């Protein structure tokens, strides 16, 4: 039986938000596998259609990237409307007011973490254009700015500081089911 994250026969897309390197793609793939639904990583869609994110930043700038990102998120959410799928967004996608409006039609999950959780991942991946130079210092500053936005948009917050991807996927599935049940009780 397909999972419905919200009341109604078709369900709604599940959108994962949070800072870069928190594990949105890995946890999103795991959750989609568990639920037997499609997974879409908007960063991967951008790369497939426009080339590497680093190249977009270098050649066209952050503003052009953010415009591409906002269009991509809108297209992916529109394509998934009224169906259950798992969609992961880039860390800064939620800064766009249009994107904030678009994802209101979805169940939004904020993957919460801290600096220690992502430090090793960031050290291993130097291809993130916004982290050039002092990667952890820049990540910390961006996170401080974005955290209130993540918290405001989230229907569900999942602490991902501990646990394997499989365990986190299981915890997220349980949280989604609890949320869906609570929403149904409110609507009765």
- 65-91 confidence digits (pLDDT tens): 999 999 999 999 999 987 889 999 999
CA–CA gap between residue 155 and residue 145 (Å, rounded): 19
Q: What is the DSSP letter of 78?
A: H
DSSP β-ladder status, 14-17 and 39-41: unpaired
What is the sign of the dihedral through the CA atoms of 131, 137, 140 and 141? negative
pLDDT at 8: 29
What domains can you pick out in the chain, each with its CATH number?
14-159 (3.40.50.300)
Determine whether the annotation assigns residue 58 to a binding site. no
SS3 category, 160: coil
pLDDT at 154: 97
In angstroms, the Cα distances linking 59 to 50, 95, 148 are 11, 22, 31
Determine whether the annotation assigns residue 25 to a binding site. yes
Determine whether the annotation assigns residue 48 to a binding site. no
Determine whether the annotation assigns residue 37 to a binding site. no
Determine whether the annotation assigns residue 44 to a binding site. no
Determine whether the annotation assigns residue 22 to a binding site. yes
């Amino acid at each position: 039986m397909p999972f419905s994250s919200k009341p109604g026969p078709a369900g709604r897309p599940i959108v994962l938000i949070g800072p870069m390197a928190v594990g949105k793609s890995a946890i999103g793939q795991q959750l989609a596998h568990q639920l037997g639904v499609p997974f879409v990583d908007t960063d991967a869609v951008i790369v497939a259609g426009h080339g590497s994110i680093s190249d977009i930043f270098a050649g066209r700038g952050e503003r052009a990237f953010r415009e591409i990102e906002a269009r991509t998120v809108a297209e992916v959410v529109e394509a998934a409307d009224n169906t259950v799928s798992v969609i992961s967004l880039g860390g800064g996608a939620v800064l766009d007011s249009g994107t904030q409006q678009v994802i209101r039609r979805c169940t939004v999950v904020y993957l919460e973490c801290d600096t220690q959780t992502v430090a090793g991942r960031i050290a291993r991946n130097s291809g993130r254009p916004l982290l050039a130079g002092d990667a952890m210092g820049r990540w910390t500053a961006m996170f401080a700015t974005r955290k209130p936005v993540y918290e405001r948009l989230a229907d569900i917050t999942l602490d991902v500081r501990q646990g394997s991807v499989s365990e986190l996927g299981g915890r997220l599935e349980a949280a989604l089911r609890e949320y869906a049940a609570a929403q149904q009780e409110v609507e009765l």
